[in-house]
Amino acid sequence: MVGVLPSQSGTVSRRDYEDLVLKLHDIQAVKFGEFKLKSGIMSPVYIDLRVIVSYPEILLRVAEAMWDRVRGAAFDVMCGVPYTALPIATTMSLQHGTPMLMRRKEVKDYGTKKAIEGAFARGQTCLVVEDLVTSGMSVQETVAPLEAEGLRVTDVVVLIDRQQGGEARLAAQGLKLHAAFTLSFILDTLVAAGRVTPEVAAATKKRARSWPKNAVGAELLRLMARKQTNLSVAADVESADAMLALADAVGPSICVLKTHVDVFDVWTPAHAEKLQALAAKHDFLIFEDRKFADIGNTVSMQYGGGIYRIADWSHITNAHLVPGSGIIDGLKKVGAPKGRGLLLLAEMSSKGTLAKGDYTAAVAAAAEANQDFVMGFISVSPGSWPAGPGAPGLIHMTPGVQLAKGGDDLGQQYNTPDSVIGERRSDVIIVGRGVIAAADPAAAAKQYREAGWNAYLASLQEA
């Protein structure tokens, strides 16, 4: 095998790791940029490892640095998380002769449902190879189909651990994380090389801790940034089939599809599967707007079971805090092991809502205390909350949005995307009839996406 990295007693030295950090910085796989939340948070380190494929020597070093970290772990096959980690896994496979598998990002079709490609036997152990771990969510999306095929997964190797809860989250599932680098190591190395000031590095480490603690919240922010949309469409249409058709039509424009599946006369696991496939195809998250409102024990049954089995397919759901914080515990018991996120209703868009003042403040406090599972709020005017818009890292999603201010005859009140995102300081607009009642919902979604995202970018510049 090619000894690409200078090594002492067969291992990669600290110097080699530092050198590799500088090379990754040279090719801008690691750079500084900003992506802010309304509450003032940003992710100043921008890591995009896709560029590595253009630098074969660096790709080889990356693969060797990761291989070095999993020395001692036992595995029969390896599976790269699509897409960025695939060339890395391939390089590791070629260098060390360990066979590789591939997970399909979109399951091919509903007929064959082949999620894992390659030759393997049930009971074999599979190493998962990923470029970056933030919260651990995308790793989990790869582990699940591997385990469904009867493979054992015990170890995960990544190039960079962003140190935002991924290691603990994976450990809770019995997975050991091996990282070539932590974000702190990268920052320390860049400071030592004079490429980043100690002040920026310190601020970066501090800010990194304000990234959403809930995995779905973190994923939503990444998704918004890569897809350039803060539009959620409320798919309040007449049937599950119509909802699926709408999801396919507006999918390219949205970050979240919001559903009320209890308004359909038929809902089957096949509908849920098709919706999940559309979410993978178009890169959006699913939000079943169930508005739970019972004691913890009851909501855990309603969320995990029944006809709808919401926790099985919906990344996000929401709840009222009327029963007290036991409702969060009850939902978390079911949702946390499945990697789900919860929004708390802090305010409502409807006329005469009782969710205001002290109630809203109590919801903000409960969300802050439960950020591992609570990813944010349904809110209307977080910018005017007396104590500020809630803990940093929590996301605001706001319904009651149309291009013109107004309402319906049942109490709904509409504000414009500019008002909701600019003045009221929310993050995501939720639009139902503005899109679905339009003659061309796909075109309307494009329009709302543009209005929402422009308002978002404009308000970040002011912040």
Residues that bind ligand S5P (CB under 6 A): 234, 236, 260, 289, 348-350, 378, 399-400, 412, 430-434
Distance CA 39, CA 394 (A): 8
Distance CA 247, CA 234 (A): 10
CB of 254 to ligand S5P, least distance (A): 13
Q: Is position 312 annotated as part of the catalytic site?
A: no
Closest by CA to 120, choosing from 151, 91, 89, 93, is 151
411 is in an annotated binding site: no
CB of 266 to ligand S5P, least distance (A): 19
Q: Which of 131, 289, 332, 427 is catalytic?
A: 289
Closer to ligand S5P by CB, 102 or 244: give it: 244
Two structure tokens written together for 203: 């601020």
Distance CA 23, CA 20 (A): 5
Taken in order 253, 258, 263, 267, the sign of the CA dihedral is: positive
Closer to ligand S5P by CB, 179 or 257: give it: 257
CB of 287 to ligand S5P, least distance (A): 9
Q: Are the beta carbons of 253 and 293 closer than 8 angstroms?
A: no
CB of 382 to ligand S5P, least distance (A): 13
Closer to ligand S5P by CB, 30 or 444: give it: 444
432 is in an annotated binding site: yes
CB of 260 to ligand S5P, least distance (A): 6
Distance CA 381, CA 164 (A): 29
The H-or-E segment that residue 273 falls in is helix 269-282
Closer to ligand S5P by CB, 174 or 406: give it: 406
- Per the listing, tokens 């499945």 go with 338
Q: Which of 291, 338, 356, 446 is catalytic?
A: 291
In three-state secondary structure terms, 461 is helix
CB of 339 to ligand S5P, least distance (A): 22
Cα–Cα–Cα angle for 339, 340, 342, rounded to 5 degrees: 145
β-pair partners for 224: none
227 is in an annotated binding site: no
Closer to ligand S5P by CB, 100 or 243: give it: 243
Q: Is position 227 annotated as part of the catalytic site?
A: no
236 is in an annotated binding site: yes
Q: Is the peptide bond between 83 and the residue preceding it cis, with omega within 30 degrees of 0?
A: yes
- Per the listing, tokens 């291009």 go with 403
In three-state secondary structure terms, 194 is coil
Q: Are the beta carbons of 321 and 363 closer than 8 angstroms?
A: yes
Closer to ligand S5P by CB, 89 or 378: give it: 378
Closer to ligand S5P by CB, 135 or 259: give it: 259
Distance CA 128, CA 158 (A): 8
Two structure tokens written together for 33: 């940029």
In single-letter form, the type of residue at position 197 comes to: T
CB of 194 to ligand S5P, least distance (A): 50
Sheet strands side by side (includes 116-117): 116-117, 100-103, 77-80, 126-133, 155-161, 176-182
Report which DSSP code applies to 36: B
Q: Which of 48, 76, 188, 294 is catalytic?
A: 294
Phi, psi of 282 (to 5 degrees): -100, -5
**CB environment 349-379: b (16+ within 10 A), e (fewer):** bbeeeebeeebbeebbebbeebbebbbbbbb
Closest by CA to 318, choosing from 327, 308, 309, is 327
Closer to ligand S5P by CB, 16 or 289: give it: 289
CB of 319 to ligand S5P, least distance (A): 11
274 is in an annotated binding site: no
* Closest residue to ligand S5P, based on beta-carbon distance: 432
Task: Report helix, strand and coil shares of the chain as percent, to nearest 5.
Answer: 45, 20, 35
124 is in an annotated binding site: no
Q: Is position 294 annotated as part of the catalytic site?
A: yes
What residues are annotated to the active site?
289, 291, 294
Could you tell me which residues are annotated as the binding site for substrate? 236, 258, 349, 412, 432-433
Point out the annotated binding site.
236, 258, 349, 412, 432-433
